[in-house]
């Protein structure tokens, strides 16, 4: 990756699991980072260490509203969107709007500022795939009327918008199709498989296996994913993707349960529950394209990534968080709260770093 100077970077969804790790990394590299998040599934705790950093600004804002900024913007990572099925299905219409309007507003900001913009797309664009492993050329098998469609189709539409903005306006776009990613800072009550199993095991509660546990996923550790996102963002403008970013090691959900039980030494038993509707049977990324174009490949073995994730949750389970008054949403946001108007005004915070 070429050495780059200090950039002005907007990260939507920057208080979430992946977004907060990305903000950490970008601030550490000396960039000026503006995190826009409505805290739907994100947490202050994730960005607490950054809140007083002079290169970091938090803006409570919703990407379903237009994003405006006065100062320069060089890069936009559009990560805002709940990623866990229970969360994105809780408000499906809101999820569609977040996917589609969020992409539109990120693209408009890129168009007006000349920034590069990267979309956090997903392996869900392949739906319940008939081709295995999934290459980027596979066009997917999504049930447009099912409970996952709000997310899957929302993300598919977002990809369409990205490529239309490139064709129509020459906006430099990048699209990453992220496969199941895990690591510290997932929500305890997130509903995703690794966080569920780890928290259940640490509490010696039943491990909730959906279906018979033979369905597969391929899990990428968050640091590996960040390497891929950054390499993609800093690649030539001609390199747009979409690129699959994920770890091609495929495991069954039951194997994950066994690994978690073994690593935690838990007394939990397996408890079988019905498989959710449209739950994909198999998922594994073909990553040759990202390897060739970006020189990227994941490096962290599942066992090591699970160990870090278990260590993180072990601390959380032992010390449940008590919100401190000074860190409640309003206390932090008031300083940056945009004027009450339709646009999410980033002008109040941009360029201050
Ligand atoms: P997350 O839920 O932890 O983070 C999403 C963040 O977006 C949260 O901070 C949330 O508060 C914020 N957000 C949601 N709706 C918003 C809105 N309307 N306006 C502003 N902020 C909003 O999820 P994550 O795992 O960190 O995922 C980040 C991105 O990566 C998402 O776009 C997701 O679709 C994509 N992705 C993640 C995975 C994965 O396995 N983690 C896989 C594929 C794609
Ligand atoms: N799953 C499970 N138990 C849980 C949570 C999830 O068996 O407590 C299964 C789920 O049915 C799916 C897989 O684990 O087959 C991955 O689920 P997750 O929600 O993490 O991600 P996604 O389905 O979006 O890939």
> What are the extents of the domains in the chain?
8-333
How many whole angstroms from 193 Cα to the centroid of ligand 2?
5
- Kindly state the tokens that stand for 327: 């860190």
Q: Is 122 in the pocket of ligand 1 (CB under 6 A)?
A: yes
d(CA 151, CA 223): 24
Tens of pLDDT, residues 82-134? 999 999 999 999 999 999 999 999 999 999 999 999 999 999 999 999 999 99
Q: Is 89 in the pocket of ligand 2 (CB under 6 A)?
A: no
From the list 151, 165, 182, 221, the catalytic residue is 151
Q: Give the DSSP H/E element, type plus range, for residue 280.
A: none
Contact 75, 116 (CB under 8 A): yes
d(CA 244, CA 294): 11
Ligand closest to CA 194: 2
Q: Kindly report which listed range (16-30, 140-154, 250-264, 314-328) carries the lowest average pLDDT score.
A: 314-328
Q: Burial-class residue 106 by CB neighbours within 10 Å (0-12, 13-18, 19+).
A: buried
Helix-helix angle 253-264:302-318, to 10 degrees: 60
Residue nearest to atom 13 of ligand 2 (CA): 193
Confidence of residue 319 (pLDDT cuts 50, 70, 90): confident
Q: Is 38 in the pocket of ligand 2 (CB under 6 A)?
A: no
Closest CA to 251 of 292, 303, 320: 303
- Is pLDDT above 60 for 326? no
Q: Burial-class residue 160 by CB neighbours within 10 Å (0-12, 13-18, 19+).
A: exposed
CATH of domain 8-333: 3.40.50.720
Q: What is the pLDDT of residue 210?
A: 98
- Give Cα 253 to chain centroid, integer Å: 21
| Other beta carbons within 10 Å of 81 | 25
d(CA 174, CA 166): 10
Q: Is 81 in the pocket of ligand 1 (CB under 6 A)?
A: yes
Is 165 tagged catalytic?
no
Residue 169's region, left for phi above 0, alpha for psi from -120 to 50, else beta, is: alpha
Calculate the average pLDDT of the chain. 91
């Amino acid at each position: 990756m070429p050495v780059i100077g200090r950039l002005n970077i907007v990260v939507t969804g920057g208080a979430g699991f992946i977004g907060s790790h990305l903000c950490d990394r970008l601030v550490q590299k000396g960039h000026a980072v503006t995190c826009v998040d409505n805290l739907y599934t994100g947490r202050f705790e994730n960005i607490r260490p950054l809140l007083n950093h002079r290169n970091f600004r938090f803006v409570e804002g919703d990407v379903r509203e237009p994003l405006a900024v006065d100062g320069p913007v060089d890069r936009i990572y559009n990560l805002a969107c709940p990623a866990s099925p229970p969360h994105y299905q809780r408000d499906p219409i809101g999820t569609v709007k977040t996917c589609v309007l969020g992409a539109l507003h990120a693209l408009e900001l890129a168009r007006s500022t000349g920034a590069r913009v990267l979309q956090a797309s997903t392996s869900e664009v392949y739906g319940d795939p008939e081709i295995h492993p999934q290459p980027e050329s596979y066009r997917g098998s999504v049930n447009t009327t099912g409970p996952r469609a709000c997310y899957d189709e929302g993300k598919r539409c977002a990809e369409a918008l990205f490529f239309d903005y490139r064709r129509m306006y020459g906006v430099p776009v990048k699209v990453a199709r992220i496969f199941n990613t895990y690591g510290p800072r997932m929500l305890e009550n997130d509903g995703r498989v690794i966080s569920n199993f780890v928290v259940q095991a640490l509490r010696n509660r039943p491990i909730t296996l959906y279906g018979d546990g033979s369905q597969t996923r391929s899990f990428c550790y968050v640091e590996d994913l960040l390497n891929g996102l950054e390499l993609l963002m800093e690649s030539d403008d001609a390199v747009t993707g979409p690129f699959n970013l994920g770890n091609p090691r495929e495991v069954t959900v039951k194997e994950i349960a066994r690994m978690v039980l073994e690593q935690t030494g838990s007394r939990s038993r397996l408890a079988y529950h019905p498989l959710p509707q449209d739950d994909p049977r198999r998922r594994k990324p073909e990553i040759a394209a990202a390897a060739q174009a970006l020189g990227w490949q994941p490096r962290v073995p599942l066992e090591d990534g699970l160990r870090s994730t278990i260590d993180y949750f072990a601390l959380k389970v032992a010390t449940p968080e008590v919100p401190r008054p000074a860190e409640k949403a309003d206390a932090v946001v008031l300083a940056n709260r945009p004027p009450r108007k339709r646009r999410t005004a980033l002008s109040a915070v941009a360029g201050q770093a």
